[in-house]
Amino acid sequence: MDLFSQTQQQNEPLAARMRPRNLDEYIGQDHIVGQGRLLRRAIQADQLSSLIFYGPPGTGKTTLARVIAGTTSSRFISINAVLSGVKQIREAIDNAQQTRDLHGRRSILFVDEVHRWNKAQQDALLPWVENGTIILIGATTENPYFEVNSALVSRSRIFQLKQLTADDLRNVALQAVSNKERGYGRWDVSFEEGALEHLIKTADGDARSILNSLQLAIETTPDSYPPPAGTAIHISMETAEESIQKKVVLYDKEGDYHYDTISAFIKSIRGSDPDAALYWMARMIRAGEDPRFILRRMIISAAEDIGMADPNALTIVNAAAQAFDRIGLPEGQFPLAQAALYLATAPKSNSALAFFDAIKVVDEEAAKEVPNHLRDASRDKHGFGHGDGYNYPHAYRDHWVAQAYLPEGLKGRIFYQPSAQGYEKQIQEDVMRRREAQMASMIEEPSEILTYSPGDKQRDAWMRRTTGRSGKFLEEMRNRMFSLMKAERHQRILVWKETGGLFLWEAWRKVPEGGVSAFFPEKKHMDLCSHFARTLPETERPVLLGGENSSALKILKELESENCLFESIICRNWLFRTEKKECEREWKYLKEMIPPGGTFLSCEPLPGSGSRLSTIFKEHCKTFSHLKEIMAAEEKVYTEWHPDLISTETTKERFRSLMTDSSEAEIKSEILTMKEKRIITEDILNQWLDPSREGNLGCRMSKHIHKDIILGFKAECINQLKNIHVTWESFYTLIRISF
């Protein structure tokens, strides 16, 4: 080893020496570089596109870039935005062009603190990122959507790094203590009880902070450093406290922490959590935020979030602002806290947002003339009749009279909807009563006004929904299931027994930094989705499993052998489509792929709970002598066909029987109903009731009653029900299993 480079490395800070050299040494940020995550796959495949790493100091942004530098075959160029200008950018671009032209290698340009570049510097980089001359990797502590050129942001994938957990920091510290080459593994380092925990707690998620404090504690404990190899170095609690004395509140009045913290404060008020409101306000005051800024935001919240539920809230906050101006800090914190507590505990209403609905109407619709009876009568009453017909409210009982105040074309439009909270609850009935009276007063108005109604579009939409309801229901069912899943962007999802991509592409949209796999029992369905997947970048494509000669169990065994885990597994009609024994075999593997905190979701039909032909027939014909026999046979068909899918309870019980060794898992369910208009045609009745058709209702009923009765029932149905319109109901149960 080069003696000078070895000495230089020994003189580097511990945080620099302990930088991970590969992904296996990298600690934390499992949500973006964990096994199976998109970024890890891209780094391992050396198929990187432009990236921006965004997160607090000490979370590993620069370290992750150095790991990429050590693994990529591309040329890696590193510059710091604070120390470089347009000249250095042009030099880096020239080098990248030469490398590409002479050697056919790509170049990766890493820019630390990329948010510190001005617009001209960022613009100078844009065309070269666009044409692929360089791949940009930027690191920033500021929100890139605000601080980085939007054109660069749109061409980059953004990964947010989070503060390290206590376990992550412990692993960072222990790694440094045990490493003999770059850390302190040559000595016997030990800690007094609580000393290491103090360093971890005070570092507050910052790896650089804990390594710096660890270096100070270890290197100042011996009489001289470095001591002989094998020397015992014991870090006392006192040494730990001296090494990292005070937790630094991470806050920048112009940066993300400023906006994020005030956002958390206002949302805590809106959510009626006084404890959280006090905490976030304390964070801001402790970090030196201007209390007047906090008071201004509370004034807005008093009108926006509390509003008419407690009109006095605005007065209280204004009084607190005036009191603070008079007394200042530190005593001014009392009215500040009082105002925050008042808002957080007050009833909530955002009905003032109705004003912005009115603004939208003004912006989008043609200007309406002021109704004649509302015009100013003091100027031209005699010439134009302005003000004629106006009823003076104070001349009437309760100081109110029913008359129209909106212009022609907007009469009947409703903007304000009083809530049932606080003061608004008291006035809600009066507002509604007066509104109804105003509507009644317009009966004598021209008929074209009465033909207008804000609900017309909704009624039209309802009519559209009743046509082709099945597609709409599938969309609603999918949206509800993903709402129950609560997938985070970095998670992994398995779509089990997918068909046409209903769940696959929604999962792909939900977890852009995670991973999606889908098993297709039928090759034609897989080919259809594969065709679309080929249009996506290779590293972003979902993993499609199945095809010819790929049974479900074969795929499950392959996934098990690769130790695959999925935070969510989602499927549809699994129990309905799969034989009972096969379900048990598949479940044995599926449950092992769901980690603690994960979910399994399935939507299963309840065939016996929906509309039945015999019930519809009974409504139109009560004289058929064998109707009771038909209804009894029909009941047996539904009961025997899928005994596990008779009701939500039987479905849940079936899942419970699968989970004999998963006692801690929790099963929840809810019902979805689909209603659709159907025309009962003669062809449909023949398809349903012809006993010679294998597998249909008539064939199944023939096992319980004579075929002649079924044929007679079919003839009566054709006679009584042919071409009638009915509302057909189908019921489904959504099952969610939480592990």
Q: Is 52:138 a contact under the CB 8 Å cutoff?
A: yes
Contact 412, 452 (CB under 8 A): yes
Tell me the one-letter amino acid at 580.
K
**R_g over Cα of the chain:** 35
**Do both 633 and 683 map to the same domain?**
yes
**Which residue is it, tokens 């065709």?**
531
Q: What own/partner pairs with CB < 8 Å and gap ≥ 24 does 299-305 have?
A: 301/266, 301/269, 301/270, 301/343, 302/343, 303/352, 304/350, 304/352, 304/353, 305/266, 305/269, 305/270, 305/343, 305/348, 305/349, 305/350
Domain match, 505 and 592 both: yes
| 547 in any annotated domain | yes
Residues 283 and 358 in one domain: no
Block residue for tokens 């935070």: 567
pLDDT of residue 9: 55
Contact 546, 494 (CB under 8 A): no
Residues for the chain: how many in total?
739
Residue 519, SS3 per DSSP: strand
User: Is the residue at 240 inside a domain?
Assistant: no
Q: Are residues 357 and 320 in the same domain?
A: no
Pair 385, 314 in one domain: no
Query: Residue 342 is part of which domain span?
Result: 256-348
Residues 539 and 577 reside in one and the same domain = yes
- Of 307, 329, 348, the domain-final residue: 348
In a domain, 616, yes or no: yes
Residue 363 exposed, middle or buried by CB count within 10 Å (0-12, 13-18, 19+): exposed
Query: Domain holding 388: CATH number?
Result: 1.10.3710.10
* Cα gap 67→591, rounded to integer Å: 34
Dihedral (C-alpha) 276, 280, 286, 288: value to the nearest 10 degrees?
A: -160
**Tokens encoding 5:** 């480079």
Looking at the fold, whether 37 and 144 belong to one and the same domain comes out as: yes
Cis upstream peptide for 596 (omega within 30°): no
Query: What is the model's pLDDT at position 6?
Result: 47
Residues 474 and 573 in one domain: yes
Asked if 313 and 364 sit in the same domain, the reply is no
* 137 and 41 in a common domain: yes
Does one domain contain both 134 and 46? yes
**Whole-number pLDDT of residue 174:** 93
With left for phi above 0 and alpha for psi between -120 and 50, is residue 563 left, alpha or beta?
left
Domain end (from 141, 160, 179): 160
What are the residues whose beta carbons fall under 8 Å from the beta carbon of 720, sequence distance 6 or more? Answer: 617, 620, 621
CA 697 to CA 674: how far, in whole Å?
A: 21
The pLDDT of residue 651: 87
In a domain, residue 333? The reply is yes
Q: What integer pLDDT is reported at residue 435 of this predicted model?
A: 58
Cα 454 to Cα 439: distance, rounded to the nearest angstrom: 13
- The strand order across the sheet containing 568-572 reads 543-546, 515-520, 492-496, 568-572, 599-605, 724-738, 666-680
Rounded Cα distance, 174 and 281, in Å: 35
Separation CA 368–CA 389 (nearest Å):
19
**Contact (Cβ atoms closer than 8 angstroms) between residue 257 and residue 248:** no
- Structure-token match 């593994």, residue found: 185
- Say how far apart CA 156 and CA 153 lie, in whole Å: 5
What pLDDT, on the 0 to 100 scale, is given for residue 533? Answer: 78
Residue 286 forms part of a structural domain: yes
DSSP 87-144: HHHHHHHHHHHHHHHHH---EEEEEETGGGS-HHHHHHHHHHHHTTSEEEEEEESS-H
Q: Within this chain, do residues 548 and 567 fall inside the same structural domain, yes or no?
A: yes
- Residue 314 falls inside a structural domain: yes
> Token match 């992550």: residue?
168
Segments of the chain scoring below 50 in pLDDT: 1-7, 248, 251, 440-469
For 70, half-sphere exposure in the C-beta direction (CA atoms, 13 angstrom radius) is 14
Burial bucket for residue 611 (CB in 10 Å: 0-12, 13-18, 19+): middle
**What is the model's pLDDT at position 676?**
76
Question: b or e along 561-594 (b: 16 or more beta carbons within 10 Å of the residue's beta carbon)?
Answer: eeebbbbbbbbbebbbebeeeebeebbeebbebb
Q: What is the CATH number of the domain that holds 155?
A: 3.40.50.300
* CATH code, 302: 1.20.272.10
Most distant pair of Cα atoms in the chain: their distance: 108
Give the pair of three-digit tokens for residue 543: 């993993």
The domain boundary residue, chosen from 600, 615, 634: 600
**Of the candidates 225, 140, 160, 153, which has an alpha carbon nearest to the alpha carbon of residue 189?**
225
State the pLDDT at residue 682.
85
| In-domain check, residue 167 | no
Angstrom distances, CA of residue 74 to CA of 43, 106, 457, 732: 11, 5, 57, 53
Q: Which long-range contacts (CB under 8 A, 24 or more apart) does 513-516 make?
A: 513/31, 513/32, 513/37, 513/38, 513/39, 513/159, 513/489, 514/36, 514/37, 514/38, 514/487, 514/488, 514/489, 514/490, 514/567, 515/36, 515/37, 515/38, 515/41, 515/542, 515/543, 516/492, 516/542, 516/543
Residue 521 lies in a domain: yes
Q: How far apart are CA 39 and CA 33, in angstroms?
A: 6
- Domain count across the chain: 5
How far is it, in rounded angstroms, from Cα 715 to Cα 709?
10
Tokens of 450: 């009465």
Global pTM? 0.52
- Beta carbons within 8 Å of 725's beta carbon, 6+ residues apart: 677, 678, 679
CB 623 within 8 A of CB 727: no
